[in-house]
């Protein structure tokens, strides 16, 4: 009937290319992310370098394309030179972001090696706190230069002949935050970012530079974009085929104690992408940036469900995830697919132990609830996003933040769809309702063999532990005939050959 829920998939209507980098990771020197997470020398589960093999396998399963490093807030007092060369000469330093002690036994070369083993690309964040432009240039030279110069030779001396060719570089992290060791005003930041961008691109014009934004919809975002979105400033009159900065970074963590507010919160993150992308357009218009300059994309380089108050462990960082959070994560990811046109990269914060789908113990790894939708998206939601129409009852209760429902719909069924390069259609459906299953007519589905991958559980509070995995993926198939039942509080991915 007219009112019953329906989904219409349009495999022939491609909306935008999905950038593989939206499945990026993030490893910060924070809590047990590096030490005891990806790096755990002496543990029988580690290789001869000290890399945890179970973590590497998980990263490979997830097919993580890019990993951000070394922070986060940590980077604001990080001097990269402390972390290279013979270990016995590396200084221990007080660490001011998380008030710990940084041993520097894991640094640039270890991270690069780890990326190589995992098969992922490094993305480095520069120290905009206590760091200098000289240091940043030296780091870029160390990583990327093939010339006979001091820092390139230092890299060779440390055992690496070929440049690492690190493509992605961020101009600081959350420089607006009152928690920063050296917080900046938007005016000071924009001036500094512009200068650094100019110099860094002189040294290596091939890099992708990421500007430090806030939520995507603040006056900080508007101001720094307005000051820095321009064409390359190199050469007389500049080069109007290249941009000075290439991406704009935003960060959003969501959480709520009540399930529906928790599960709908990531719709605010989707709205943030739309708003940030409008600010990019506005800056380009106001600055008269010609179309020949590639349009800046959004780098959502920290996202996840995180409530530091409820998270146990050191620094309130070892968040324990429930089924409700897994549904929230699938809503985040659906939003990324729907906004694929504007999203150049996204990095779940973080990859291991700290606010993470993966928790290491000394003798194994726990895959938390949020791991499973992330795995399904990363495996199947690649290629192009495609058009999809959804009719589903609208949630009208409280949302967090409160403004979500005024600006973007919050139906109980949250949906996105994609088509892979080899012609497989994937339909991702989160049923947010705690009470109701929905029987849905799916138009555009191919009758015959539809693969079904389902993530659900007894109730929205269930979680996985080292002893028991209550939430995982259930596989089955459907003939595509009649209605499909999306169970209450579940995430389902349907997949068929177009
Ligand atoms: O990911 C944890 C922290 O959250 C990061 O260090 C910081 O950038 C953000 O505030």
pLDDT digits (tens, 9 = 90+) for 443-456: 999 999 999 999 99
The answer to whether residues 25 and 52 belong to one domain is yes
The answer to whether residues 92 and 215 belong to one domain is yes
CATH number of the domain to which 143 belongs:
3.20.20.80
- Look up tokens 């939430």; give the residue: 471
Residue 72, ligand 1, Cβ within 6 A: yes
Answer for the pair 26, 348: CB distance below 8 angstroms, yes or no: yes
Answer for the pair 412, 392: CB distance below 8 angstroms, yes or no: yes
pLDDT tens digit string along 142-158? 999 999 999 999 999 99
CB-count exposure of residue 181 (10 Å: 0-12, 13-18, 19+): middle
Annotation marks residue 319 as catalytic: no
E-only strand ranges, 218-327: 231-232, 239-243, 247-254, 297-305
User: Which of 302, 318, 350 gets mutated to test ligand 1 (max ligand atoms within 8 A of its CB)?
Assistant: 302
Task: Out of 358, 382, 406, pick the residue that ends a domain.
Answer: 382
Is 10 part of any domain?
A: no
The answer to whether residues 368 and 431 belong to one domain is no
Of 102, 110, 227, 302, which is the active-site residue? 302
Q: How many domains does the chain have?
A: 2
Q: Would you tell me the crossing angle of helices 150-157 and 133-144 to the nearest 10 degrees?
A: 50
The answer to whether residues 83 and 214 belong to one domain is yes
Task: Provide the domain limits for residue 454.
Answer: 390-497
Report the percentage of the chain scoring pLDDT > 90: 95
DSSP code at position 74: G
Is 5 part of any domain?
A: no
pLDDT for the residue numbered 123: 99
Is 6 part of any domain?
A: no
Nearest CA to ligand 1 atom 1: 349
CATH number of the domain to which 444 belongs:
2.60.40.1180
Helical H segments across 339-399, by residue range: 371-380
Is 7 part of any domain?
A: no
- Name residues whose C-beta falls within 8 Å of residue 475's C-beta, 6 or more positions apart in sequence: 451, 452, 453, 454
pLDDT of 2 higher than 60? no
Nearest CA to ligand 1 atom 3: 72
Mean predicted lDDT score pLDDT of the chain: 96
Give me the mean pLDDT over the 415-421 stretch: 98
The answer to whether residues 465 and 488 belong to one domain is yes
pLDDT of 308 higher than 80? no
Annotation marks residue 302 as catalytic: yes
Count CB neighbours of 57 within 10 A.
12
The answer to whether residues 77 and 225 belong to one domain is yes
pLDDT tens digit string along 236-248? 889 999 999 999 9
pLDDT band at 62 (very low <50, low <70, confident <90, very high): very high
The answer to whether residues 369 and 399 belong to one domain is no
């Amino acid at each position: 009937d007219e009112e019953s829920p329906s989904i219409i998939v349009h495999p022939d209507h491609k909306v935008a290319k999905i950038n593989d980098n939206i499945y990026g990771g993030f490893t910060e020197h924070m809590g047990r992310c590096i030490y005891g997470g990806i790096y755990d020398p002496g543990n029988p589960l580690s290789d001869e370098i000290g890399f945890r093999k179970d973590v590497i396998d998980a990263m490979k399963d997830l097919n993580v394309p890019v990993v951000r490093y070394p922070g986060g807030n940590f980077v604001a007092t990080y001097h990269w030179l402390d972390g290279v060369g013979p270990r016995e000469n590396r200084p221990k330093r007080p660490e001011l972001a998380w008030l710990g002690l940084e041993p520097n036994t894991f640094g640039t070369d270890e991270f690069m090696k780890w990326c190589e083993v995992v098969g992922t690309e490094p993305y480095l964040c520069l120290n905009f706190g206590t760091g200098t432009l000289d240091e940043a240039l030296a780091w870029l030279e160390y990583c990327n230069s093939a010339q006979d110069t001091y820092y390139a030779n230092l890299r060779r001396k440390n055992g690496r002949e070929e440049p690492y060719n690190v493509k992605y570089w961020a101009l600081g992290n959350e420089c607006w935050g009152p928690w920063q060791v050296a917080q900046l005003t938007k005016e000071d930041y924009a001036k500094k970012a512009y200068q650094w961008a100019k110099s860094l691109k002189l040294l290596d014009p091939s890099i992708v530079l990421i500007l430090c934004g806030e939520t995507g919809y603040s006056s900080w975002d508007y101001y720094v974009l307005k000051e820095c979105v321009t064409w390359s400033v190199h050469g007389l009159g500049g080069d109007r085929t290249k941009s000075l900065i290439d991406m704009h970074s935003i960060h959003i963590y969501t959480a709520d104690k009540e399930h529906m507010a928790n599960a709908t919160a990531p719709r605010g993150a989707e709205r943030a992408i739309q708003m940030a992308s409008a600010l990019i357009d506005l800056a380009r218009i106001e600055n008269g940036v010609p179309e020949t300059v590639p349009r800046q994309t959004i780098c959502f380089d920290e996202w996840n469900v995180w409530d530091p108050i409820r998270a146990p462990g050191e620094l309130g960082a070892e968040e324990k995830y429930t089924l409700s959070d897994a549904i929230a994560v699938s809503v985040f990811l659906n939003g990324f697919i729907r906004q694929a046109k504007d999203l150049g990269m996204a990095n779940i914060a973080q990859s291991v132990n700290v606010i993470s789908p993966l928790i290491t113990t000394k003798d194994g790894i726990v895959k938390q609830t949020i791991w499973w939708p992330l795995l399904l998206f990363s495996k199947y939601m690649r290629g192009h996003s495609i058009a999809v129409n959804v009719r589903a009852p609208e949630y009208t209760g409280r949302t967090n933040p409160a403004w979500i429902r005024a600006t973007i719909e919050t139906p109980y069924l949250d949906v996105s769809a994609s088509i892979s390069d080899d012609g497989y259609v994937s339909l991702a459906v989160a049923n947010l309702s705690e009470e109701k299953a929905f029987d849905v007519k799916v138009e555009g589905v191919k009758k015959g063999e539809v693969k079904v991958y389902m993530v659900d559980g007894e109730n929205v509070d269930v979680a996985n532990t080292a002893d028991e995995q209550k939430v995982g993926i259930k596989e089955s198939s459907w003939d595509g005939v009649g209605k499909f039942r999306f169970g209450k509080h579940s995430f389902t991915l349907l997949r068929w050959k177009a």
